[in-house]
Structure 1
């Protein structure tokens, strides 16, 4: 058993030669063996929601949202499956690399799914209330997601190098990618709060004048019944909840990696399960129920589409 091994066997020249029978667990990538039940639960949960997202996406034709969420969910399944494989041999690189890369970049795809909804949410009220053109939301935040993904993937790939300085470089790049994700999510939340404030003012002004506010801006009457429905309110609340959960998870991962893989926080599985696994689970459940745009937009997702690269359009 691993607990009886206090030093590597004499013939061990690299941790890649280690097994639980020949080396102490302190030499492994993590100083604990991942919990089988907890990680298997997340594999099953995210695999189930791949099917849910596939069914909802096809039925409601929300292709971009479906593509982003399914990519993220596949990576979540692979990441937790790799953690289970680490129980057999936590010393070798491939499962650790798979776990780090997959679980680090997966939420970026989920946040991308949230981002593509914002421009259409604005259109349900009126594009005149927005400080940005519709296409700008997607261009800005998808671009931020791509940069974050590239940094995280590159950093994750470097963390299994044999050279300690290269490993530290990889960790620094990972932190940069995660920090960039936190920054973009912070900007997204700030824009959402600004929009909510502007829309609330417009709604109050419109209700008083019965037509529009003092600047002649009015809410789109075609979506009045949608905006008044409980389904729409639930959609907005769950989209916000998903964003906040992804945000909390991203802040946690920055803190986790700030002191390297050998830190206490990086080897605290309970904290990891709560602030990584549980946060992303809540986000996925939110985006797969009433927070799904196919439900929230009541079939108007496609009709609210907008030209990405046409300069004359909002």
Structure 2
């Protein structure tokens, strides 16, 4: 965020005209268009899937895709005119908010696991996962928004110092990273309890294996993205990472499309059983088959 530029001064601008942009580069039009298409397709697929299977909490994935779509549309707009401050602020705001909806879906998914397999599989009640971790995400967003507002107002002033606002944004992302880490600990605790209860095999084959794999992949992508954004902002608005688009494409855009599209392929509506008994039925069938295979012939 190197300064404020009145978009009215650059109406119809198509290329760099010698004035430094807020990005430190000109966003690539083809990349912006590609991510708009990818997030748009994932959003449409999630809407169809949630209406088809009536798993309404999966709407958070569609909402997150919509936020990502709007953010990349802002970057596509910036490719036409990299000095448009409105487009710049749109992409900052929406691309910071979007991952919160993806993590909310993952929190709900773990809560559904606990509801299915019983309260003894967790030290927290299922509803608390959503309340605690979504509250943490909201707090993180508020901190980041406050920091962004401070940095933006200071950058508009020729003698302003955006560093305090930037540091505040970093604090918000770090807070989010910590809350995700605590959630990962809770997830590991869940599977350890499942193992002690002798139900782990239900997660090592069949639908739950796919769904749990999707959850792990999504969390990993969000984790990578959060670490990247922390380092990026810690370097400041003129730092190396923030002024090189390839890092943003690979460590934000690619990570986020994987994090949400994986649930198009492994959708909870298809793979999540209604009860623990149905999840374990395949385990019992497998065990019975094993017995039949080793039983001596009459």
> Which TM-score tier does this pair reach, normalised by the shorter chain?
0.7 to 0.9
Matches for 1:160-175 after TM superposition, within 5 Å? 160-161=152-153, 162-163=156-157, 165=160, 167-175=162-170
1:174 shift after superposition: 1.9
Whether 2:171 is the aligned partner of 1:176: answer yes
Taking the aligned partners of 1:228 and 1:279, their CA distance within structure 2 comes to: 25
Taking the aligned partners of 1:61 and 1:185, their CA distance within structure 2 comes to: 27
Matched residue pairs, number?
267
Matches for 1:190-205 after TM superposition, within 5 Å? 190-203=185-198
Structure 1 residue runs of 5 or longer lacking an equivalent are 1-12, 204-218, 302-314
What is aligned with 1:154?
Answer: 146
Q: Which residue of 186, 195, 207 maps to 1:231?
A: 207
CA contact (8 A) 2:32 2:76 kept: yes
Q: Which residue of 237, 240, 246 maps to 1:261?
A: 237
Are the structure 2 counterparts of residues 14 and 180 from structure 1 closer, same or farther at C-alpha, using a change threshold of 3 Å? closer
Taking the aligned partners of 2:4 and 2:130, their CA distance within structure 1 comes to: 47
Whether 2:95 is the aligned partner of 1:103: answer yes
Whether 2:121 is the aligned partner of 1:129: answer yes
Whether 2:80 is the aligned partner of 1:77: answer no
What is aligned with 1:212?
Answer: none
CA contact (8 A) 1:60 1:299 kept: no
1:21 shift after superposition: 7.2
Taking the aligned partners of 1:225 and 1:271, their CA distance within structure 2 comes to: 39
CA contact (8 A) 1:101 1:152 kept: no
Q: Deviations over 1:212-232 (max 9, x none)?
A: xxxxxxx6xxxx997575111
What is aligned with 2:18?
Answer: 24
CA contact (8 A) 1:101 1:157 kept: no
Q: Deviations over 1:30-57 (max 9, x none)?
A: 1211111111111001001111111111
Deviates more, 1:121-130 or 1:52-61: 121-130
Taking the aligned partners of 2:94 and 2:141, their CA distance within structure 1 comes to: 11
1:100 shift after superposition: 0.8
Q: Given the two structures, how large is their TM-score scaled by the length of structure 1?
A: 0.78
Taking the aligned partners of 1:228 and 1:21, their CA distance within structure 2 comes to: 53
Whether 2:182 is the aligned partner of 1:187: answer yes
Structure having the larger proportion of residues in helix: 2
Whether 2:279 is the aligned partner of 1:279: answer no
Could you say what secondary structure the match of 1:288 adopts? Answer: helix
Structure 2 residue runs of 5 or longer lacking an equivalent are 277-298
CA contact (8 A) 1:69 1:109 kept: yes
Q: Given the two structures, how large is their TM-score scaled by the length of structure 2?
A: 0.82
Taking the aligned partners of 1:157 and 1:287, their CA distance within structure 2 comes to: 33
The alignment's C-alpha RMSD in Å is 2.5
